[in-house]
Amino acid sequence: MKEWGFLLFLVLCLSFAFVNKESSFQDKVEIQSYEKNNNDHLDNRETSESFQTIEITKDLVFQGNLLLVNNEYPIHQESIKSDVVHLFTHKELTKGYGLHDNEIKLSEDVAHEFSTIIAAAEKEGVRHFLINSGFRDFDEQNALYQEMGSDYALPAGHSEHNLGLSLDVGSTQMKMEEAPEGKWLEKNAWKYGFIIRYPKDKMAITGIQYEPWHIRYVGLPHSVIMEEKNFSLEEYLDFLKQQKSILTTIYNEKYEISYYPVTEDMTIHVPSNLRWEISGNNMDGVIVTVFPGTTQTNFKEVRMAE
């Protein structure tokens, strides 16, 4: 009996530790701003670290996962994700959720990331997800705008759905704002690089009413910082522009995020032995994110710089 009692106590302790880790995830985020000295600021990380020079061209302002798209900032042709696929023809990408119709399209990369969300939700017993809408080309967006009007749709070129980074997620059981799927997304999407793009308390900033079904991929660590500071995408991009450079520690892993204004082609320095990504903001500059670890620049990042 004593052995059974000890085992029960051990299981309870482990369970508490896991739950506590989940609930305190946001408390593990530390953000430190610092002054950067143009191209030399990255040299402050480690004096022994090697660097490479990369070219930042003006067209990079309009590419990447952090683009701001709204009535003021339209999509450029180079902004549209190049890996958009019909999900119905990629069964490996649609495990665990349904499609509203056979014409739903989405960035393949974003679909892979969304599959991670589905797997995590299923472990918690939330499993009735449905994608109602994904990528729309300009013709599809224009037809929707003509049909629905300005109160319910945005003009072609001004909707995030024209990027390939956003999707409308529903529940097969009930309305998303009432469904377990909607509540789970609002609580957990940020852990997997997604945000609720139009939050309940940000209508004055986004200009769009609360949409618990509309999620947008921005990637890590950005979604974590936005959750921690209760930022909309507009507020986050303004924050980065004001701070210029920040060091972010998430569970003892350090990330560096820097904003660069871009008015003409230029060069910057990045570590040659760390992974990094570049995204424009669709306004006036680019954001460079340096990740922890020692992974060389991958194909996705090279492709973005082409």
The answer to whether residues 283 and 237 touch, using CB atoms and an 8 Å cutoff, is yes
Which of 211, 234, 235, 301 is labelled catalytic?
211
Element housing 285 (H / E): strand 285-290
CA distance 140 to 242: 37
The answer to whether residues 111 and 135 touch, using CB atoms and an 8 Å cutoff, is no
Q: Which residue has the tokens 């067209």?
A: 59
Q: Which residue has the tokens 């299923």?
A: 122
CA distance 233 to 66: 8
CB atoms inside a 10 Å sphere around CB 91 = 8
CA distance 196 to 173: 20
167 to each of 101, 180, 276, 289, how far by Cα in Å?
14, 18, 26, 24
Torsional sign, CA 189, 195, 198, 200: positive
- 3 catalytic? Reply is no
End-to-end, the C-alpha distance of the chain in Å comes to 67
Catalytic residues: 211
